[in-house]
Amino acid sequence: MQRRSFVASTAVFATGLTHLSSAQAETGVSDSEILLGSSAVLSGPLGSQIKVVHNGAGLAFDAVNEQGGVGGRKIKLVSLDDELKPEKAVENYGKLLNDHRVFAFFGCVGSGTTAAAAKLLQQSGAPSVGGYGVGDTARERVAGSAYFVRASNAREAQALVEHLTTVGVNKMAIAHLDNPGGAEAVKLIEAAMATHKLTPTAVVSVKGDGSTSAAAGKTLADSQPQAVLMYLAGTVAGEVIKATYGAGSKPMFYGMSVVPGEVTAKVVNLQAGGLAISQVMPYPWGEVETVTRDYRRLAERAQVPVGYGSFEGYLNGLVMIEALKRTGRDLTRARLHAALRAFKLRLAGMDIDFTAGSSTGSKFIEMVRVTPEGRFVR
């Protein structure tokens, strides 16, 4: 029996794909700790944005840990950089499962990276909560294994196009990251435009390292759009806007929620129509909701920037904490899945509901304008 156990555990380590036994399902849980893992882009132009999201989650985890944790267990998050590369992500998921021996995943990032890890998630039985920048197709790939708080990209695309057509805009261009999430965003925006019998004046793909931002800006300017819809992240959105201005065009810019408004305003002096973003999280500066006020108090104490990125991380962290509480003291991956499938909660004015069987819990979207100073105005 010992020999068979050793061989089985070695196989899991070698492939990262072998089905874990029920006895191993409590991996990552001790009398004093719950260990979570994340594979995310933490370096380069996109990494700073994700670190802010993770820092927001840290506010929630630190606060509950100060109160003794969940059922007497403190939450610890181990994050590994995958550079948004699918092969690196698969390696990280394997390391987190087999070297770090995490109980569940939290705050993982990216469409291609998430889709690449689908088999590992399914066979390990480890739930994944609060993914960021994960397209709708990738969400379908990990259905049953992952639970996303933020609204779908399809809803964002529809909301953006509906808003623009309502105010009389019919000449729109699209700028997107050259990754699976960006490619999918283009299809969703084009589908939303097609319902109004519109096609984009231009579609430009932008590298995540920002090296093609100047060329993208010129192409956008040459197409003479009234508005540019963006699926860009990190500092790249600001660089593209700056290049478009430099090429002599000043259209309105509209970003999907992955566009960090405050970062963009630091990169470029927003002009003319400026920038608006379809936010999928409630307004972080609201005064009505206790959860929002608590978040700002914790952020200010920890010197974490108050904004949509860190607030999203914080709310995702609260969802993870509440799911663990509802699972009970006898923590297993199967029990956590059951708690998540039955999960329904209102946070900061946003309804989160996984009970209908969807891997996406929220439909919340709000259009918010970014000022030249980087402030958000509803």
pLDDT score of 46: 86
Neighbours of 322 (CB within 10 A): 19
pLDDT score of 9: 37
Per-residue pLDDT tens over the stretch 225-272: 999 999 999 899 999 999 999 999 999 999 999 999 988 999 999 986
Average pLDDT in the 62-91 region? 97
* pLDDT confidence bin for 7, thresholds 50/70/90: very low
Per-residue pLDDT tens over the stretch 257-270: 999 998 899 999 99
CATH H superfamily, domain 153-279: Response regulator (3.40.50.2300)
* SS3 category, 139: helix
* pLDDT confidence bin for 27, thresholds 50/70/90: very high
Which positions ≥6 away from 123 have C-beta within 8 Å?
17, 18, 19, 20
Reference 266, options 374, 368, 370, 376; nearest CA is 374
Average pLDDT in the 99-119 region? 97
Between the alpha carbon of residue 63 and those of residues 71, 74, 163, 301, 343, the distances in Å are 14, 10, 38, 11, 22
Please, what's the b/e burial string for 181-210 (b: 16 or more CB within 10 A of its CB; e: otherwise)? Answer: bbbbbbbbbbebbeeeebebbbbbbbebeb
**Alpha-carbon span 161 to 303, nearest angstrom:** 36
- Pull the structure tokens for residue 45: 């132009």
* pLDDT confidence bin for 5, thresholds 50/70/90: very low
* pLDDT confidence bin for 92, thresholds 50/70/90: very high
**Alpha-carbon span 215 to 218, nearest angstrom:** 5
**Alpha-carbon span 376 to 276, nearest angstrom:** 9
* pLDDT confidence bin for 20, thresholds 50/70/90: very low
Percent of the chain with pLDDT over 90: 87
Q: What is the mean pLDDT of the chain?
A: 92
Evaluate if residue 19 carries a pLDDT over 50.
no
190 in Cβ contact with 219 (< 8 Å):
no
316 in Cβ contact with 106 (< 8 Å):
yes
Residues β-bridged to residue 75: 34
Reference 132, options 159, 160, 113; nearest CA is 113
Per-residue pLDDT tens over the stretch 151-168: 999 999 999 999 999 999
Reference 34, options 87, 104, 117; nearest CA is 104
The answer to whether domain 2-151+288-364 and domain 153-279 are alike in fold is: yes
CATH H superfamily, domain 2-151+288-364: Response regulator (3.40.50.2300)
pLDDT score of 45: 85
Burial class for 100, CB neighbours closer than 10 Å (0-12, 13-18, 19+): middle
* pLDDT confidence bin for 25, thresholds 50/70/90: very low
Burial class for 335, CB neighbours closer than 10 Å (0-12, 13-18, 19+): middle
pLDDT score of 314: 98
pLDDT score of 373: 87
What single DSSP character describes residue 152? P
Between the alpha carbon of residue 112 and those of residues 22, 50, 159, 176, the distances in Å are 29, 16, 24, 15
Evaluate if residue 22 carries a pLDDT over 60.
no
Cα 221 to the center of its chain, rounded Å: 29
pLDDT score of 12: 40
* pLDDT confidence bin for 24, thresholds 50/70/90: very low
Per-residue pLDDT tens over the stretch 289-305: 999 999 999 999 999 99
Neighbours of 73 (CB within 10 A): 21
Which positions ≥6 away from 237 have C-beta within 8 Å?
230, 253, 255, 259, 260, 263, 264, 267
Per-residue pLDDT tens over the stretch 316-373: 999 999 999 999 999 999 999 999 999 999 999 999 999 999 999 999 999 999 998 8
β strands within the chain, DSSP E: 33-40, 74-81, 104-106, 128-129, 146-147, 172-177, 203-206, 227-231, 252-255, 275-279, 344-347, 350-353, 366-370, 376-377
Q: What ranges do the domains of the chain cover?
A: 2-151+288-364, 153-279
**Alpha-carbon span 63 to 268, nearest angstrom:** 36
* Residue predicted with more confidence, 59 or 13: 59
